[in-house]
Amino acid sequence: MSDRLFIFDTTLRDGEQVPGCQLNTVEKIQVARQLELLGVDVIEAGFPISSPGDFNSVIEISKAVTWPVICALTRAVQKDIDVAAEALKYARHKRIHTGIGTSDEHIRYKFNSNREEIIERAVAAVKYARKYVEDVEFYAEDAGRTDNEYLARVVEAVIKAGATVVNIPDTTGYCLPSEYGAKIKYLMEHVEGIHRAVISTHCHNDHGMATANTMAGVLNGARQVEVTINGIGERAGNTSLEEVAMIVKCHKDIGIETNINTQKIYPTSRMVSSLMNMPVQPNKAIVGRNAFAHSSGIHQDGVLKNVQTYEIIDPRDVGIDDNSIVLTARSGRAALKNRLHVLGIDLPQDKLDKVYEDFLRLADKKKDINDDDILLLAGADRSQNHRIKLDYLQVTSGVGVHSVASLGLDISGEKFENCASGNGPVDAAIKALKKIINRQMTLKEFTIQAISKGSDDVGKVHMQVEYDNRVYYGFGANTDIIAASVEAYIDCINKFKPD
For ligand KIV, the binding residue among 139, 266, 359, 489 (CB under 6 A) is 139
Minimal distance in Å, beta carbon 14 to Zn ion? 4
Q: Does 95 bind ligand KIV (CB under 6 A)?
A: no
Return d(Cα 172, Cα 141) in angstroms, integer. Answer: 9
Minimal distance in Å, beta carbon 471 to Zn ion? 22
276 or 345: whose CB is closer to Zn ion?
Answer: 276
Q: DSSP E strands: which ranges in 189-294?
A: 198-203, 224-227, 256-257
> Which of 3, 419, 375, 6 has its CA nearest to residue 214?
6
Minimal distance in Å, beta carbon 147 to ligand KIV? 17
- 53: Cα within 13 Å, side-chain hemisphere: 11
> Which of 252, 262, 318 has its CA nearest to residue 291?
318
Question: What number of chain residues touch Zn ion (CB under 5 A)?
Answer: 1
> Which of 140, 220, 224 has its CA nearest to residue 185?
220
103 or 403: whose CB is closer to ligand KIV?
Answer: 103
227 or 343: whose CB is closer to ligand KIV?
Answer: 227
204 or 366: whose CB is closer to Zn ion?
Answer: 204
Phi, psi torsion values for 168, nearest 5 degrees: -115, 80
Question: Which residues in 192-251 contact ligand KIV (CB under 6 A)?
Answer: 202, 204
For Zn ion, the binding residue among 9, 11, 13, 14 (CB under 5 A) is 14
DSSP state of 327: B
Q: Does 36 bind ligand KIV (CB under 6 A)?
A: no
171 or 273: whose CB is closer to ligand KIV?
Answer: 171
Let me know if 458 is exposed, middle or buried by CB neighbors in 10 A (0-12, 13-18, 19+).
buried
Strands 403-411, 388-396: parallel, antiparallel or unpaired by DSSP? antiparallel
**Span of 6-14, 76-84, 367-375, 441-449 interacting with Zn ion by CB under 5 A:** 6-14
Give the DSSP H or E segment for 1: none
Q: Does 457 bind Zn ion (CB under 5 A)?
A: no
Question: Which residues in 11-30 contact ligand KIV (CB under 6 A)?
Answer: 14
Return d(Cα 355, Cα 321) in angstroms, integer. Answer: 23
DSSP state of 103: S
- From residue 428, alpha-carbon distances to 227, 397, 404, 490 in Å are 43, 9, 6, 15
Question: Which residues in 140-199 contact ligand KIV (CB under 6 A)?
Answer: 141, 167, 169, 171
Question: What number of chain residues touch ligand KIV (CB under 6 A)?
Answer: 8
Residue 141 contacts which entry, ligand KIV, Zn ion, none (Cβ below 5-8 A, type-dependent): ligand KIV
Minimal distance in Å, beta carbon 229 to Zn ion? 15
Strands 6-9, 224-227: parallel, antiparallel or unpaired by DSSP? parallel
Applying CB under 5 A, the residues found at the interface with Zn ion are 14
Applying CB under 6 A, the residues found at the interface with ligand KIV are 14, 139, 141, 167, 169, 171, 202, 204
